[in-house]
Copies of this chain bind each other. A is one copy, B any other.
Amino acid sequence: MNAQPLLIGGEWRQARELLGAFRAEDPTTGDPIGPAFPLCGAADLEAAISAASTVANELAAAPPERIAAFLEAYATGIEANAEALVDLAHAETALPKQPRLATVELPRTTNQLRLAAKAVRSYAWTQPVIDTATGLRAHRAPLSKPVLVFGPNNFPFAFNAVAGSDFASAIAARNPVIAKAHPSHPATSERLARIALVALQQAGLPSASVQLLYHFDYAAGSRLAGDARLGAVGFTGSRAGGLALKAAADKAGIPAYVELSSVNPVFLLPGALAERGTALAQEFFASCTMGSGQFCTNPGVVIVPQGTDGDAFVATATSHFAAAAPSVLFSRGVLDHLQHGVATLCEAGAEVLAGGTVGEPGFRYAPTLLSVDADTFLRAPKALQTEAFGPVSLLVRVRDVAQMAQVAQAFEGNLTGTIYSAIDGGDDTAWPTVAHALRPRVGRLIGNRMPTGVAVSPAMNHGGPYPSTGHPGFTAVGMPAAITRFTALHSYDNVPETQLPHELRDGNPDGIARLVDGVWRTNDLAHGAS
């Protein structure tokens, strides 16, 4: 058996315990492509965590300048290899090169790395606090332990375990990373890691700051996530997988930031439907089928009033879905999961309006629209919130705005919730009725815009109440907020000034924003103030 090497301890080396090998598959045909990659065993996981742990203190003490230089060099390296990366990712995921991979996702990834570098240079993620009355000073600091990152299937660049937001966040906070690539795009991940290793060396950081593993079995993954040497876990993927890892990490007291699942309910208020129902049907169809619907924030449930305007919306949406060719999905696993999800929805009372069929060759599924009445939804809200990851959405037909609010209250935690309202103000009384029910159940409340598209912004929340994620207080996207997940709060009490971290000293030559006695300031601390 032969397989590509792993990146452990700064070296590309063969798996010590090669339990198997796998190849990526071309989603459009189902045929294997590219070289074989290792399914590795416990010895390799131990080597990875051991190597990462060895450099954790050195990385924690590294000058922020070097961290920023790495993130920027990595972004530049990705750009220099853009064509090759886009080719690999396209072959492994079937996502279109243009605009998705080349013009949207790759620039988004390098932008994210550079925003992380900016947060490093500004010290924004460290949140320095100085209290002159007590002399106490506090900030956020590295965990001084490795962060284990699991990448999802659906963003080969922007959420890649070795290049995405979790990766950039963990490294920005000066923690080593053990990256677990998604096995559906191993060659893309390998190429990224090769660029990362060069950038580490250019920046003068320990080369064991980044490890790359491709695949290991479920039990080994749980053991790794529960290893007390870890500082945190970052995961984006399926609910079952994320909850298993979270359970293992929880038991060992390791914070696990897991992004699990979301159906992202969209509420169409009556005025919006009356005003622009046909346009909304098109907007909805485009959002639901973009990227074959394989987004965490795909509009999976749409709440539509009964009556003429609602019926017209449904008719238009149905015709869009019915006319669409089958979408190519990432993998056999995604297709299986999707079929299972649609079956669950149908068993719970949903009716197929369009689609619902598998396509050929490779992994294809017809864009699918389902419908159910609100009374049925309210009788089986759990089953009818089953995530069908892919180009699938369920319409819920409600009698009135009051029932919309009832439906909103039946939702589990979601990443997003969207309300479409009339431009002419006709929904101004309906809005708060629905919004008050929806707001506590979602991380991001959206107005008049589909939920797909997650801006890398300091005010983004790509997170939400359980079970969309494991903790309602954190976002996986947006700098500097995403970085704080991988930090520890450190307080200094009567510690000599010369022994304080840079951003907590009296002098503040870099103009770092610090909360001094309750006021954000960028100046030096007045002499003798504490």
Q: Which of A197-205, A285-293, A439-447 contacts B (4 or more CB under 8 A)?
A: A439-447
Instruction: Contacts A134-B457, A467-B253, A489-B443 given; indicate if A57 touches B436 (C-beta within 8 A).
Output: yes
Does B247 lie within 8 Å of A496, measured CB to CB? no
Tell me the minimal C-beta distance from A228 to chain B in angstroms: 8
Does B449 lie within 8 Å of A493, measured CB to CB? yes
Copies in the complex: 2
Tell me the minimal C-beta distance from A515 to chain B in angstroms: 7
Does B440 lie within 8 Å of A143, measured CB to CB? yes
Does A439 lie within 8 Å of B490, measured CB to CB? yes
Tell me the minimal C-beta distance from A484 to chain B in angstroms: 7
Q: Which of A16-24, A93-101, A157-165, A472-480 contacts B (4 or more CB under 8 A)?
A: A472-480
Residue A122 at the B interface, CB < 8 A? yes
Closest B residue by C-beta to A243: B253
Tell me the minimal C-beta distance from A184 to chain B in angstroms: 27
Closest B residue by C-beta to A439: B490
Tell me the minimal C-beta distance from A40 to chain B in angstroms: 28
Does A491 lie within 8 Å of B460, measured CB to CB? yes
Does A461 lie within 8 Å of B489, measured CB to CB? yes
Q: Which of A102-110, A123-131, A216-224 contacts B (4 or more CB under 8 A)?
A: A123-131
Q: How far is the CA of A494 from the CA of B138 in the complex (A)?
A: 35
| B-contacting residues, A103-158, CB 8 Å | 122, 124, 129-131, 133-134, 136-138, 140-145
Residues of B within 8 A of A485 (CB): 473
Closest B residue by C-beta to A431: B499
Tell me the minimal C-beta distance from A294 to chain B in angstroms: 21
Does B134 lie within 8 Å of A493, measured CB to CB? no
Quick one: CB contact mask for A491-514 with B, threshold 8 Å, 1 for yes? 111111001000000000000010
Residue A518 at the B interface, CB < 8 A? yes
Residues of B within 8 A of A465 (CB): 488
Residue A333 at the B interface, CB < 8 A? no
Instruction: Contacts A436-B57, A460-B138 given; indicate if A493 touches B129 (C-beta within 8 A).
Output: no
Tell me the minimal C-beta distance from A505 to chain B in angstroms: 14
| B-contacting residues, A404-454, CB 8 Å | 413, 416, 421, 431-432, 435-436, 439-440, 443-449
Does A518 lie within 8 Å of B134, measured CB to CB? no
Does B255 lie within 8 Å of A473, measured CB to CB? yes
Residue A276 at the B interface, CB < 8 A? no
Sample of 18 A–B contacts (CB below 8 Å): A60-B440, A61-B436, A134-B455, A138-B460, A142-B440, A143-B440, A144-B440, A145-B440, A250-B250, A252-B466, A253-B467, A445-B492, A447-B495, A448-B494, A472-B488, A473-B487, A473-B489, A475-B489
Closest 5 pairs between A and B when the two form their complex, measured CB to CB: A253-B466, A461-B491, A520-B520, A144-B440, A136-B459
Residues of A within 8 A of B (CB): 57, 60-61, 122, 124, 129-131, 133-134, 136-138, 140-145, 246-247, 250-255, 413, 416, 421, 431-432, 435-436, 439-440, 443-449, 455, 457-461, 463, 465-467, 470-475, 481, 484-485, 487-496, 499, 513, 515, 518-520
